[in-house]
Structure 1
Amino acid sequence: MPTFSDRIDGLRPSPIRTVLSVVDRPGMVSFAGGLPAAAALPAWSGSVGPETLQYGASEGEPALRRAVADHLHALGVDTTADRVIILSGSQQGIDLVAKLMIDAGTITAVDDPTYLAALQVLRLYGADFTGLDDTGLADASLAYVVPTFANPTGACASGPERDRIADTCRENGTVLFEDDPYRELAYADVDRTPIVARMHGASWIYQGSFSKTFAPGLRLGFMTASPDLFDRLVMLKQAVDLHSSRLSQQIVLDAITGSGWQDRLDSLVDFYRDRRDGFDELLRTYFADLADWTSPPGGLFFWLRLREPMDTRRLLDEAVGRGVAFMPGEEFYAGPPTLGTMRLNFSHADHDDADRGLRILADLVAERFDRRGS
């Protein structure tokens, strides 16, 4: 019998990946993962030279790193191209930061609820969780935040709230890790200035992704960090996969430096805003008496709070059996979960599928309410 590491005892399968395994079933309507709409994915007809198929630098392709650094500098982030790493997806970035910062018992501040896959990685390395209030930040070695169109809630932190987090982390020596994959998908005029732009003289890490604005199948993201952390992150990257796909990097570079990139972003925002608004109308049709929610100012998710508390994890199998997938909200809590919450993705399903799926899901919730009341 093999002997496994101690951390494996705390490893659980990702419910997101489990749910996504059924998405391709015929007739399945998925509100589960943050899948872009198929119609929003790009076509690519470029060509590559032989150098693109050779080994490359761990930090990534120089031209892509420059493009990312220029973009971040315009947002107020204090970085340069030589402090940018190209990641094999932002999930790799979370793993690198956890390896850098987390030992068993390391106090880590997070929103509650927060991104499920980040919780999975942080738990794997032994993090103990606290909140993002001033007391929690004062005690924490690391703070993981998704302040702009948060996963799962869709909420966007205000300017004063961003100031508070930056000031408290700086005063207490807490390393701030800002995960920002949704910032380009803004449907309202809100403060999206990265918190790390307020962190001069402190320790911070910032990452983004090309999955939501371009193509998730390329598995490409980016990371930058304050000078005291960057070199260690590069060494960790070298130990994991040497470098990210050079072909993926070339495809992304061609896209984001092309003349049509801003037009693509503008069209994407308009497309998803329409889907969000249509989804909100359907929620009002089917869930008005069952749940409360706020239309998100950006991102890809609605966060529902059912009028009666129930563990929505127990609804999932029956929902999938009826042809609908969703993410139980209880999975997104670092501590004891708030019962009766659901994360619904609005970007993937078209209007007809969303109508059918929400009607089925509402019927299922209403049946559970009736059973509890009888």
Structure 2
Amino acid sequence: MRTRTVRVLLVEDDDGDALLVEALLEEARAPFILSRARSLAEAERLLSDAECVLLDLGLPDAHGLDSLHRLLSKPDAPAILVLTGLDDEREGIDAVSAGAEDYLIKGQVDGELLLRGVRYAVERRRADDAQFQLREAKLLAAERSRLERGLLPPPLLKGSDLDLAVRYQPGGQRMLLGGDFYDAVGLPDGSVHAIIGDVCGHGPDEAALGVCLRIAWRALVLAGEPPEKVLRTLDQVLVAERHGEGIFTTACVVTVAPDRRSARYFLAGHPEPLLVVGQQIVDLPKCKVGVPLGVLPDYAWTGVDVPLPPGWQLVCFTDGLIEGRVPGDTDRLGVERLCEILRDQLRRGPDWLDPLIAEVTKLNGGELDDDMAVLLLKDPA
């Protein structure tokens, strides 16, 4: 089996010691590419091309462990083997404690020992890097899980007769956590309040902002605040908590009356919900599409009342559902074609939500580009 060539950087200002290291490597007949630096400054320039550094701690521009600390502080620092004199073994031990892979004593090393030391250092660094990446992945997964629980909580509908279905699908190409969120709350008077929203952008900052807005919305609704005031307060919360100017959020807020025969909805730059009755999509009374949250200070959103016939279903969704691609067309899917797919699925049976999402995903040629959330409210009758 052929041994892989290792790129070694020797940092040594003494020509005699440098020749000794070169001779030892030749003695071991090891496949190395050896380069040399005579100072720490020169080593820093050559560091990115090295897998292992043989570092003498007595350099003209660094003293003691300073050179080790400086090299280890570089991004993606390679494995480092410290070279010490017989009288400096304590310094070698301190170097290992400070982050070096190992130390070797000059004059007590033959070619085979040097070869094993370099290979051990390289493999140990790789193992450490792999463990670090695994820990990072686990931490990111745990953080993502916490954020998703905050964005997509169990609805607070204890004692409510209203049927509710929710779906969430992350953007497949980036696999970054977005800011889509939803929630639903039932109040003692029998009314049910729901929100679905989308913070612009992708990543943990946007997700954290979505969690903040969702929690604020639930608290305001439970406190009995009317939707108009809830939206104005959410706007203030967003402006205070967002991580950069220009960050905005779209939202659709719905209140279903206790008798389940009417609802009021508000739009803050968000797609209009769809009202389904039987196998038909019924036109909603037009609601003024207000500006998104975080755009205009002191903006007043207005809602519209909607009569709900028996057997109604109200579909609220984020724009990830309508921004998928369509084969042979440069335009996005859009609401009109989404309605065509929905009508086809309604004719096929009552369990249409998952097939609808599957068909939209299929037309896109794979996972949707953007996060997608759907909140479906149903007449309990």
TM-score over 0.5 (shorter chain): no
Structure with greater proportional helix content? 1
Question: Which structure has the bigger radius of gyration?
Answer: 2
TM-score by length of 2: 0.24
Higher relative contact order at CA 8 Å, sep ≥6: structure 1 or structure 2?
1
With the length of structure 1 as denominator, give the TM-score of the two structures: 0.24
The structure with more strand, counted as a fraction of residues: 2
